[in-house]
Structure 1
C-alpha cells in the first residue's frame, strides 16, 4: 500500500519558466555552464552553482549556504513562487520519439524503509552522506526520484482526460522537447489519486537511488525537529510501460596485455564470435553483445544461457563475469580508471569515434535490461551491477521545488 501526498511546491513564474529550468547540473560541460551563467540571469544554475568561479575552492558548507542564499533571492525577486496550498502535478515531456507522462508527488520515507518503494541499485555511502548534507543546508530539492508503478488502466484514462484541461506551463527546451505541467489542486482529484496509489502493493525506483537514500538519512538525522516535510521526498511517478530503458555501454582502455588474436580466441570459449567488419551492429536480443575492436565490429553470442538467478542472467553481469573481470582484469566497476560508460541513448558511432581516437582500445555494446528484470531483482532484494541502466525521462532542474 503506497502513500503519496500533495505538497506546497515552489516553481518559476509563468513568463520565465523556459529560462529558469535547466538540465541536470552534471550534464553541462564547463563551457556550457559558463555560457548559461553569463547570458541567462534567470537560470536555476545560478542557484545550484552561485559565484561559480569564486566558490570552487570553498568548503561544502560554504557552498551549500550560498546555494540557499541564492535560492531565497530568486524567491524574493519572484522568479520563483510558492503554491498557496498543497498540490499534485501532472507532467508531460514530449520528445522527438517519445511521450512521458506522470505524477509529481511526495512519497513516504516510511514506504522506502518498509520496502514498499523497492530498489535495484546499490549506493555509495559518501554520495548519500554528501547529498544529505546538501539537503540539510539548502532546505530544498528540485530533482525528484523517478519511480515507476504497475500499469493502471483507470489512472491511464484519467491522465489522458486530464490533459485536455489548461496547463500552468507549456514550453519548449533547447533540445526541442516540449514540456507541459498541469496543477492538480481539487480535493476530490487529490483523494482519488491517493486511493489509486494506495491500492498498489509496490513501487519501484527507476532512477534516483542516492537521492532517496539521502532523504531517508536526513529524516533519521532531523526527525526530532518535527518538520513533517522530512517524512516525504519528491518523486516523479510514471507507469512502467512508459519508461525508456537504455543500456550503459562499456569502453576499456586496453586489452590487459592480450594481443587482438589472443583476445578473440579467449572470447570464443564462451561466445560465438562473428566479425561484422564495418557494420554498425547492435545486439538484437538478450545474451548478445556488440564489440568494437581495431576498426571492426563483432557480434558476440553467449553459448550457455543457463543461470541460477536473475542477477547472474543480467547481460551486464555476464559481461563482467565472462570478459571484464577474467580477461581484462576489471575488478572494480565503479572505480577502475580503465573503464568508462556511454549511455545507450547515444549512437554507437560515439563509441567508434572514442576508440578510433586512440584513448580506448575496445568497446562493448549491451542489450537493454527489461522492466521485468529490474522488478524481479528488486522483489528479491538483489542489486544490479553499477551502470547497468540509463533510464528516461530526465527531469528539469528548477521546474518544481520541494522544500524541507
Structure 2
C-alpha cells in the first residue's frame, strides 16, 4: 500500500518558470553545463550541478560545490524567484512532443516504502553518484529532482486527469527542444482525497528513472530528524503512458578481428540479413559498421524475463563473447546512446571514426521492467531511455 502525499511545493513564480527550469543535471557534462548556464543564467542547473559555476580545477565532489549550490538556492529564494506554496497540494505534470502526450501525478512518496520494497527498483546504483546526491540534498535541505515512477493503469486516476485538464495551468511553456511542459495544481479536496486513496490501492510503485536520487533520499532520511526528510519527490505515470525508446550501444573497436570474421562468429548465434529491417521488434538487433547495416535476429528462448531482455541478449550473446565487453559498467570501449538520436546518431559515430560498430535496440517494455522488479531482480545497465524528459526546478520538496 504505497504512500503518496501532497506537499508544500517550493516553486518558481510563473514568469520565471521557463527560464529557471532545466533538464536533469546528469544529461550534461561539465563543459555542456557551463555553456548552458552562460546561455540561460537563471537556469536551475546552477543549483543542480553547481560545479559548472566554479573553476575547472575544483573537483565535482569538492565541498565547495555543495556550498555553491546552497548559495545559488538561497539567492533564488531571496530574490523571490522561488516561493513556497502556502497549502499542501498535489500537481499534475503533462509533457507533450506534439505526437506523444503523458500526464503524471506529482507528490511525495515514503522512504519507508522504498526501503521495504513497496516502491520497487530494477537497477544497481553507484556509490559515487549516491554520495553526490546525498551531499546535494543535505546542503539544500530539499529534494529538487523528481523520481520518475510508473504505476499500473487506474481508471479513477485517469478521471482526475481529465477533470483537471479543464482547469487553467500554473505553468505552460514549450522548451527549446520542442517539448511542451504543463503543470496543474490540484486544489479540489475531493480530487486530492481520491488521488491519495487510489495510490494506496496499488500494491507497488515502480522506479522508472531516478534510482540514485531515491537511494540518496533514503540515506538522507537516516541523517535527519525532520519528518519531511522521510518523504521524497516523485512523478508517477501510468505505465501505458510512459514512452520508452531504445538504449543503443556503440563499441570503439572490433576486438582485433575483421568485419568478415566478426560476421562469421555472430552468425553462430544470430540470423544475419544485410540491410536494416523494415521495422524494429523484440529480439531483433540492427548492427552498423563500415557504412553498412545488418539485421541480427535471435530466435532462442532464454529462462527468465531478465534473460529475455534484448539488452541482456546482446550483452551475453554478442558483446561479451565476440567483442570482449565483460562488464559494460566499467569497460571504456563501450558507450550508450539514448534513443532520441536514433539511426543517424549511430551512423555518425561510426562514420566519423569515433566508434567501430553500433547496435540499434528495440525498446524495453514497461511490463518487462515491472516483471523484473517484481522478481527482485535488476536490469542490465542502460536498459531504458525515457522521452520526453521531466524538467528539474519546477516543483521542489523542501524539508527545512
Indicate how the Cα distance of structure 1 residues 64 and 51 shifts in structure 2: closer, same or farther if over 3 A, else same.
closer
* Structure 2 counterparts to residues 268-283 of structure 1, below 5 A: 268-276=267-275, 280-281=276-277
One of 354, 357, 365 as aligned partner of 2:360: 365
Q: In the TM superposition, what is the alpha-carbon distance from 1:127 to its structure 2 partner?
A: 1.4
Q: In the TM superposition, what is the alpha-carbon distance from 1:109 to its structure 2 partner?
A: 0.8
CA distance in 2, matches of 1:155, 1:170: 22
CA distance in 1, matches of 2:314, 2:49: 38
Indicate how the Cα distance of structure 1 residues 207 and 54 shifts in structure 2: closer, same or farther if over 3 A, else same.
closer
Q: In the TM superposition, what is the alpha-carbon distance from 1:319 to its structure 2 partner?
A: 0.8
Contact 2:312–2:380, Cα closer than 8 Å, also in 1: yes
One of 269, 287, 296 as aligned partner of 1:291: 287
Q: Which residue does the alignment assign to 2:241? A: 242
Indicate how the Cα distance of structure 1 residues 104 and 282 shifts in structure 2: closer, same or farther if over 3 A, else same.
farther
CA distance in 1, matches of 2:282, 2:67: 48
Q: In the TM superposition, what is the alpha-carbon distance from 1:221 to its structure 2 partner?
A: 2.7
The yes-or-no answer on 1:319 pairing with 2:314 is: yes
* Structure 2 counterparts to residues 157-306 of structure 1, below 5 A: 157-222=159-224, 225=225, 227-276=226-275, 280-281=276-277, 284-303=280-299, 305-306=300-301
Q: Which residue does the alignment assign to 2:335? A: 340
Contact 1:282–1:289, Cα closer than 8 Å, also in 2: no
* Aligned length in residues: 397
Q: In the TM superposition, what is the alpha-carbon distance from 1:31 to its structure 2 partner?
A: 6.1
Secondary structure of the residue that 2:166 maps to in structure 1?
coil
Q: In the TM superposition, what is the alpha-carbon distance from 1:123 to its structure 2 partner?
A: 1.0
Indicate how the Cα distance of structure 1 residues 312 and 146 shifts in structure 2: closer, same or farther if over 3 A, else same.
same
Q: Which residue does the alignment assign to 2:11? A: 11
The yes-or-no answer on 1:86 pairing with 2:88 is: yes
Normalising by structure 2, we get a TM-score of 0.95
**TM-align CA RMSD:** 1.7
CA distance in 2, matches of 1:97, 1:287: 26
Indicate how the Cα distance of structure 1 residues 282 and 122 shifts in structure 2: closer, same or farther if over 3 A, else same.
farther
Contact 1:283–1:290, Cα closer than 8 Å, also in 2: no
One of 293, 304, 308 as aligned partner of 2:303: 308
Indicate how the Cα distance of structure 1 residues 295 and 218 shifts in structure 2: closer, same or farther if over 3 A, else same.
same
Deviations 1:85-135 (A, max 9, x none): 211101111212211101110001111111111111111122112211221
Secondary structure of the residue that 1:386 maps to in structure 2?
coil
Q: In the TM superposition, what is the alpha-carbon distance from 1:137 to its structure 2 partner?
A: 1.6
Q: Which residue does the alignment assign to 2:132? A: 130
Q: Which residue does the alignment assign to 1:381? A: 376
CA distance in 2, matches of 1:125, 1:281: 40
For structure 1, which segment, 30-39 or 233-242, has the greater mean C-alpha deviation from structure 2 after superposition? 30-39
Secondary structure of the residue that 1:204 maps to in structure 2?
strand
Give unpaired runs (5+ residues) of structure 2: none
Contact 2:287–2:357, Cα closer than 8 Å, also in 1: yes
Q: In the TM superposition, what is the alpha-carbon distance from 1:55 to its structure 2 partner?
A: 4.1
Contact 2:2–2:202, Cα closer than 8 Å, also in 1: yes
Contact 1:293–1:362, Cα closer than 8 Å, also in 2: yes
CA distance in 2, matches of 1:31, 1:369: 31
Contact 1:283–1:289, Cα closer than 8 Å, also in 2: no
Q: In the TM superposition, what is the alpha-carbon distance from 1:26 to its structure 2 partner?
A: 3.4
CA distance in 1, matches of 2:41, 2:295: 49
Q: In the TM superposition, what is the alpha-carbon distance from 1:182 to its structure 2 partner?
A: 1.0
Q: In the TM superposition, what is the alpha-carbon distance from 1:49 to its structure 2 partner?
A: 4.5
CA distance in 2, matches of 1:318, 1:131: 32
Secondary structure of the residue that 1:289 maps to in structure 2?
strand
CA distance in 2, matches of 1:317, 1:355: 23
Indicate how the Cα distance of structure 1 residues 326 and 135 shifts in structure 2: closer, same or farther if over 3 A, else same.
same
Normalising by structure 1, we get a TM-score of 0.94
Indicate how the Cα distance of structure 1 residues 25 and 125 shifts in structure 2: closer, same or farther if over 3 A, else same.
closer
Q: Which residue does the alignment assign to 1:42? A: 42
One of 328, 336, 340 as aligned partner of 2:323: 328
Q: In the TM superposition, what is the alpha-carbon distance from 1:30 to its structure 2 partner?
A: 5.7
CA distance in 2, matches of 1:312, 1:54: 44
Runs of 4+ residues over 6 Å off in structure 1: none
Contact 1:4–1:106, Cα closer than 8 Å, also in 2: yes
